[in-house]
Chain A
Amino acid sequence: MKLELRGVTKRFGSFTANDRISLTVEPGEIHALLGENGAGKSTLMNTIYGLYAPDEGEIRLDDEPVSFNGPGDAVAAGIGMVHQHFMLIPVFTVTESVALGYEPTRAAGIMDMKQAREKVLEISGRFGFDVDPDARIEDLPVGAQQRVEIIKALSRDAKVLILDEPTAVLTPQETDELITIMGQLRDSGTSIVFITHKLREVRAVADRITVIRRGAVVGETTPKSTETELAGLMVGREVNLTTAKEPAVPGDVSFSVQGLTVLSPMDKVVVDNVDLEVRRGEILVIAGVDGNGQSELAQAILGIREPVAGRILLDDQDLAPLSVKQRLAAGLGFVPEDRSTDGVIGAFTVTENYVLDMYDTAPYAGGPGNVALRLPVMRKAAQTQAERFDVRMGSVDAPISTLSGGNQQKVVLAREMSRDLRLFVASQPTRGLDVGSIEFVHRTVIEERDKGTPCVIVSTELDEALNLADRIAVMYRGRIVGIVPVTTSRDVLGLMMAGVPLEEAKQQAATHHTMLSEADEMAEAEENK
């Protein structure tokens, strides 16, 4: 089916998320939509999928203008979508998830589970998905959950399939499988819209590429363009995709975690007997697919999650019995993974957010027992730091929610780094940020490292891990699969992210290259020519 957008515009208040976007996806084509975080890709796709109504412009399917009142209409017209955050219900089985909304029923609305199950098996068999129709969604690895989403779309005869950042949660090997699946679908006539901000994947997968920036189309190109060209188009200036850094000069081990075990509220083991050592002036990146216990590990280090066993040692002082406040006072700097809910208080001003963990100590507080806030001091400090961290804002008195994500994150970094740190921990510090802010965050972390602070960074993006780390610890299902140097290949890391131990991963990777790593080699060869 041919999908065509003509001058689609979508505004939220005074903000124009999509500005007269025109785009044609031919039948049997993989069309990549490339753009950085916040460029308006997801808004555009939600408009196509009927979740938003466009303010201007029209959507055409096979040259017929269509308009959707909701996702139900879009699905009926043959559009399927795999959302970045899966639209799956954790407590449902695979069959229930696929059937939802389109249930085969017998008399009195009782579901025909047999028919629903066979449908799952049929589609899953057609593409070799190997998905158990009776498994519960929450028990499945994310790769399998994504396949369930694809089955869902295909079971409704999707002729246009939208994949929103589908590789964000996958290991390189799983990404490989996804690429194969996309190829199969294209060959069977499905049009695919592939949304991403990852340049390598675009070049390996797409037939055509549309680049959008700040809500508008800035160019259409083919996968023949080099990564540097694509990056320039996407960001609007020349960018260096890797942050330059000196080799680490690691000192003594100053931070270590020994036998740390953390349970989830449902009493499942989420961090399983983890041992880590980090030296002064070293960045240890904890890599792994999201949801393998990294967040809980970081939270246990901060102290907002109580471990059931293990020790957390900072320069021979056990942090485990200390409260969060005591840990911060001991020199822990922490950047939480969810900026908007854990990093800042949206309704508070930039100044208030800046002093959030220092408001009751000198120089920000005074008087007997430090009861009085010294507002002018706070304001001045916030002002100075905001300039140093290049925070773009109206004023330090504006609510922080009026700032962009990147600028909010800079305030968080400014706050955490304004104290003398003995340990820096950040959980996915660049999630959802634009390229410029990512560069800034990376540079800041590296500066902190060069000051001799041990740094622990949780990252689910392999690119970031390879870019930032001095050593990489790979986590899978709560355990550390292995700690490897940064020279380790993506293929090996990818296998480790799926739980394969280091030696085995090396052997497997030697015999089987992923398409992406092959594409990388070709790209390198091209550039060396």
Chain B
Amino acid sequence: MSQTVETTAVAAESPKNSPTGVRPISWKYPITYAILAVLGLIFALTNPAGGRTHFRMASAGDFFEIPIIELPSRPAGWVLAAVLLALAAFAFRQAARRARTGLWLPLLFGVLFVLAFLVWAGADRGAVIPLVTMLTGALALSVPLIFGAMCGLVGERSGVINIAIEAQLLAGAFLAAVAASVFTNAYMGLLFSPLAGAMVGAVLVFFSVRYQVNQIIVGVVLNVLIIGLTGFLFSTALSDNPGLWNTRQQLPELPIPLLSQIPVLGPVLFDQTILVYLMYVLVAVLNVFLFRSRWGLRTRAVGEHPKAADTVGIKVNRMRVYNVILAGGIAGLGGSFFTIGQGLAFGKEMSAGAGFIALAAMILGRWNPIGAVLAALLFGFSTSLGNVLAAIGTPVPSEALLMLPYVITIFAVAGFVGRIRPPAANGTPYVK
């Protein structure tokens, strides 16, 4: 058995044999940076002379008090604009040399641009920009998006497109409110909400796997169905006896000792309800299990090349059924945020399109849990920014800012963020 096969040298050859430099340079990103940097310059130019911008970083119960930060608007604006321009120039240089830059560039650029904008928007307003409130709001608004994106991700990684996330969130919100109200205990709502989402998932997967109905169509129909159903129950049973069916219940906030007292980060991340802590755990667990566990490997195999999975004895359709129902449970849980997570009673269509933004977050995050979380946070932050600015009053109409997440969604889905590669068998029923 010592005999070995002579291998030709093909296998050893790798990226060295790369193209002769014919790939066209992509100017998309540098141009975007340049436009934003010029916008930063305009902010700097229009800052009032001698104006001041105030930021509040502190909240009650911190280890130490951070005083209100006061920045001279115009010099601060100029400094930020200069840095933005420098970064844009750097992006151009990198593009011209076909070099790749890491994730740090868009992140740094984004943070600085937002700062430049805030300095300009808050200059001489007499109001203080509450940074902590803004970030807390961002996380809160992201919670249903993150749950929704995780739901979409588990389904699509196993090959089933789920655009019924909206329906699952709404169903979760509904059942959470009703269960919490009936038992007068918010935790019972938390317990029941996954069932609602899972049921929607079960219907989706029943039609798309058993009868191979187009998954997009089933998803659309489910969205309409759940909006109609919850709306109907809301205006009948829930409105007739709101004291029984639809009282407000709120999950209590459970500050984590010590961690929650860290300035800025503490109140944002560690003074939350159990739902948010569950979300942290879920994202961490999914990230590990999707890429390092038997379940994850099989899930990805089923979503990429179901026939290959079948030839090694994996039950493709059974796997899809389980995963989509599980994913529905995740979205249902996320939906409970709208009601018991915020201490609200159920209201018609209260998920307000979050399911679709979650879908966009999943795509923007390239079907990767961490990426999807970052994208969801981006959407949450832009909404939160709009809210805060509406409160303090700005030169830009706040309605325009509220469009921001949807504009980002369009760019994300249109593939502006680079070539995206969905699971190969996504949306394709598996028939032997």
- Whether both chains belong to one complex is answered with yes
User: Chain A residues near B424 (CB, 8 Å)?
Assistant: 90-91
Q: A89 at the A/B interface (Cβ < 8 Å)?
A: yes
Q: Return the CB mask of A129-173 against B: 1 if under 8 Å, else 0.
A: 111100000011101100000001000000000000000000101
Q: Is A100 a contact of B309 with CB atoms below 8 Å?
A: yes
| Known contacts A89-B301, A111-B293; is-contact A71 B312 (Cβ 8 Å) | yes
Which stretch from B19-27, B59-67, B186-194, B207-215 is at the chain A interface? B19-27
How long is the Cα–Cα vector from A499 to B13 in the complex, in angstroms? 10
A434 → B minimal CB distance (Å): 25
A309 surroundings in chain B (CB, below 8 A):
22
Interchain CA distance A92-B309 in the complex, whole Å? 12
B5 and A128 form a contact (CB under 8 A): yes
Given contacts A127-B4, A477-B17, contact A51 B432 (CB under 8 A): yes
Residues on the B chain within 8 Å of A261, using CB: 19, 22
Once bound together, how far apart are the Cα atoms of A497 and B301, in whole Å? Answer: 31
Q: Does A102 contact B (CB under 8 A)?
A: yes
Inter-chain contact B294/A131, CB cutoff 8 Å: no
Partner pick for A308 among B8, B22, B305, B432, CB 8 A cutoff: B22
Q: Which of A374-392 contact B (CB under 8 A)?
A: none
Q: Is B304 an interface residue (CB 8 A)?
A: yes
Interface string of A250-273 (1 = CB under 8 A from B): 000000000001010111010011
The interface size of chain B toward A, counting residues with CB under 8 Å, comes to 43
In the complex, the chain B residue whose C-beta lies closest to that of A85 is: B307
Which residues in window 1-23 of B have CB below 8 A to A?
1, 3-11, 13-14, 17-20, 22-23
Give A99 to B22 CA distance when docked, in angstroms: 38
**Among the listed A70, A111, A174, A478, which residue makes an inter-chain contact with B297, where contact means beta carbons less than 8 Å apart?**
A111
Please determine whether A498 and B10 come into contact, CB atoms closer than 8 angstroms: yes
Cβ of B310 and Cβ of A109 under 8 Å apart?
Answer: no
B292 close to A272 (CB less than 8 A): no
- Which of B22, B24, B300, B311 touches A83 (beta carbons < 8 Å)? B311
Q: Tell whether A266 pairs with B419 under 8 Å between CB atoms, given A89-B308, A101-B314, A273-B20.
A: yes
For residue A272, give the distance in angstroms from its CB to the closest CB of chain B.
6
Known contacts A269-B22, A498-B8: A103-B294 contact under CB 8 Å: yes
Docked CA distance A96–B424 (Å): 17
Give chain B nearest CB distance to A204 CB in angstroms. Answer: 16
Query: B421 touching A266 by the CB < 8 A rule?
Result: yes
Chain B min CB distance to A469 (Å): 24
CA A263 – CA B23 in complex, angstroms? 8
Contact present for A96 and B432 (CB under 8 Å): no
Please determine whether A100 and B312 come into contact, CB atoms closer than 8 angstroms: yes
A87 x B305 contact (CB < 8 A): yes
Known A144-B10, A184-B3, A498-B8; contact A103-B305, beta-carbon cutoff 8 A: no
Could you write out 24 A-B pairs with CB less than 8 Å apart? A51-B432, A71-B310, A71-B313, A72-B312, A87-B312, A88-B308, A89-B304, A91-B300, A99-B297, A100-B312, A100-B314, A108-B293, A109-B289, A113-B292, A128-B3, A132-B11, A141-B11, A173-B8, A184-B1, A184-B3, A261-B22, A263-B23, A273-B20, A499-B17
